[in-house]
Amino acid sequence: MARIRLFIDHPLAPRQAVPLAPAQAHYLSGVMRLGAGAEIAVFNGRDGEFAARIAQAGKRGGTLDVGQQTAPQRDPPDLWLLFAPIKKARTDFIVEKAAELGVARILPVQTDFTNSERIRQDRLQAHAIEAAEQCGGTFVPPVADLQPLARLLDGWDGARRILWADEAMAGPAEALAGLPQGSWAILIGPEGGFSEAERSRLAASPFVDRISLGPRILRADTAAVAAIALWQAALGDWRADRQKKNPA
């Protein structure tokens, strides 16, 4: 694996020249001190990973010459993450780890007790891209803008089940092996938990399954990582049988 990987929002194919954004060109030439002829790896989230050689890089932009494909495209399972934003650094952590652990979409939601009334969607998307660059992934989950949980549930497609990490169920962590395969979303609440009205609505929704994440109440960022890990091990692409069908 190349030491430096870049996400390039451009179609990729062998013997193709692709442009570098000014920030990417500056990173390669000014930060990493790479010159013409240096080799890196690139991916666009759709076509897999390719070897690339720097043709030109400077403060105003640059160009890469794309070589052969070095890894096929590998998309994550159909898992979304719904979470209430918390403090800035911890929200960044949730987005980064969700991208690393393998989710297909990240949706920040505003609940009755959410501390943040707005997010920087572009900044969180940049964190997801950086996480994919560093972990060797070929897919970048899109990060949606903040939306009210109630509105999201109003238009929810019941074919996608929601796994609700309910802090009120603190106790032995439940196995997920009995849950069906298919489209899923994990829901992580705010630091103050869900309101009684939200809890009642979630509990009454036929597409919601409640789970415990263990005997201790977890912080929201820890809960997101734990829930994704449990789901991936039971239903996702961490399972040995799924990896045999979809080799890296």
Same domain for 45 and 87: no
Q: pLDDT tens, 200-232?
A: 999 999 999 998 888 888 899 999 999 999 999
Answer yes or no: do 16 and 83 share one domain. no
Q: Do residues 28 and 98 share a domain?
A: no
Domain boundary among 19, 36, 71: 71
Whether 84 and 204 map to the same domain: the answer is yes
List the end-to-end C-alpha distance of the chain, in Å, as a whole number. Answer: 13
The tokens for 145 are 């803008």
Note whether 88 and 181 are same-domain residues: yes
Extract the tokens encoding 10: 């451009």
- Which of 53, 71, 89 is at the close of a domain? 71
**Under DSSP, is residue 61 helix (H, G, I), strand (E, B) or coil?**
strand
Q: Do the bridges between strand 161-165 and strand 208-211 make them parallel or antiparallel, or are there none, so unpaired?
A: parallel
Residues 101 and 190 in one domain: yes
Which tokens is 179 given?
A: 């849950």
| Residue 18: CATH number of its domain | 2.40.240.20
CA atoms of 190 and 29, how far apart (whole Å): 41
Same domain, 91 and 196: yes
Residue 95 and residue 43 in one domain: no
Residues 94 and 61 in one domain: no
Per-residue pLDDT tens listing for the chain (248 residues): 458 999 999 999 999 999 999 999 999 998 999 999 999 999 999 999 999 999 998 878 899 999 999 999 999 999 999 999 998 899 999 999 999 999 999 999 999 999 777 899 999 999 999 999 999 999 999 999 999 999 999 999 999 999 999 888 876 666 676 788 999 999 999 988 999 999 999 999 999 999 888 888 889 999 999 999 999 999 999 876 665 454 44
- Asked which of 71, 93, 122 is the last residue of a domain, the reply is 71
Residue 64 is part of which domain span?
Answer: 5-71
Same domain, 128 and 162: yes
Domains: count for the chain? 2
Question: CA-CA distance, 176 to 211, in Å (whole number)?
Answer: 9
